[in-house]
């Protein structure tokens, strides 16, 4: 085998390993929800986010109905909303691979079809989805 072919074969193998590693490291998080009615006619929405691969440092949810009324963040997280968009972020308590965290939302609607995006320390993780 010529030196050029050996070099190309080595580069191809290195690229294949990199692609496989990146695919594993950037696995999308698993997000589930539960909705419970409250006595005042509003709804309690629990969103459980589990990391798979990358650590999750931020989340964004968009409610097309703009029915989010109040939000509660887990310890170490900051969360804000304007009723339609919800942003949650941490600097020191990320959701680590194999663990999960629960976020609580009070809403005027029991219809939960939020668009979501997860973020690592600096960039987006995986492909955004819909709850």
pLDDT tens-place string over residues 12-60? 544 545 444 444 445 789 999 999 999 999 999 999 999 999 999 999 9
- Does residue 56 form part of some domain? yes
- Does residue 20 form part of some domain? no
Residues forming a β-bridge with 100 = 50
Q: Is the dihedral of CA 31, 34, 39, 42 positive or negative?
A: positive
Residues forming a β-bridge with 47 = 33, 103
- Does residue 14 form part of some domain? no
- Does residue 124 form part of some domain? yes
pLDDT band of residue 85 (cuts 50, 70, 90) is: very high
- For residue 11, is pLDDT > 70? no
The Cα–Cα gap between 34 and 45 comes to 6
Residue 51, Cβ density class (10 Å: 0-12 exposed, 13-18 middle, ≥19 buried): buried
- Does residue 116 form part of some domain? yes
- Does residue 9 form part of some domain? no
- Does residue 15 form part of some domain? no
- Does residue 32 form part of some domain? yes
Q: How many domains does the chain have?
A: 1
User: What's the domain range around 58?
Assistant: 28-130
Residue among 123, 102, 118, 122 nearest 28 (CA): 118
What pTM did the predictor assign? 0.78
Residue 44 belongs to a domain with what CATH number? 2.60.40.290
- For residue 4, is pLDDT > 60? no
């Amino acid at each position: 085998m010529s030196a050029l072919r050996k070099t190309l074969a080595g580069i191809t193998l290195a690229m294949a390993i990199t692609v496989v590693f990146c695919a594993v490291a950037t696995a999308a998080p698993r997000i589930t929800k539960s909705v419970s009615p409250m006595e005042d006619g509003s709804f309690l929405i629990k969103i459980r986010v589990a990391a798979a691969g990358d650590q999750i440092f931020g989340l964004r949810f968009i409610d097309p109905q703009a029915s989010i009324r109040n939000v509660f963040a887990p310890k170490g997280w900051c969360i804000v909303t304007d009723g339609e968009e919800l942003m949650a972020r941490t600097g020191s308590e990320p959701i680590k691979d194999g663990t999960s965290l629960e976020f609580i939302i009070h809403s005027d609607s029991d219809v939960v079809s939020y668009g979501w995006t997860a973020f690592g320390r600096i960039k987006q993780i995986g492909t955004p989805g819909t709850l």
